[in-house]
Amino acid sequence: MTDTPTLAELLIVACAEVWRDDPEWLATGITPIPRLGASLAKLTFNPRLMITDAENLFLEEPAPIGPRDGSPVAEGWAPYARTFDNLWGGRRHALVAPVQIDRFGQTNISVIGDHAKPKAALLGARGFPGNSVSHPNSYFIPQHTTRSMVAGEVDHVCSAGYNPARWADGRKPLGLELRRIVTNLCVMDFGGPHNTIRPISLHPGVSIAEVRDNTGFDLAWTDRALPETSLPTAEALTIIRRLDPHNIRATLLKDNPPAVRAG
- How confident is the model over 52-70, as pLDDT tens digits? 988 889 999 999 999 988 7
> Per residue in 70-122, pLDDT tens?
788 898 998 888 888 999 999 999 999 999 999 999 999 999 999 889 999 99
The 10s digit of each residue's pLDDT in 204-235 is: 999 999 999 999 999 998 778 899 999 999 99
Q: What is the pLDDT of residues 29-56, one digit of tens each?
A: 999 999 999 999 999 999 999 999 888 8
Q: How many percent of the chain have pLDDT more than 70?
A: 99
> Rounded CA gap, 31 and 95, in Å?
9
Contact residues for 49 (Cβ-Cβ < 8 A; gap 6+): 19, 22, 24, 25, 26, 27, 38, 41, 42
Q: pLDDT class for 263, splitting at 50, 70, 90? A: low
Report the pLDDT value the prediction gives residue 148, as an integer from 0 to 100: 98
With a cut of 80, say whether residue 2 has pLDDT above it.
no
Q: What is the pTM of this model?
A: 0.96
Average pLDDT, the chain: 94
Question: Residue 99 contacts by C-beta under 8 Å, 6 or more apart in sequence?
Answer: 108, 109, 112, 122, 148
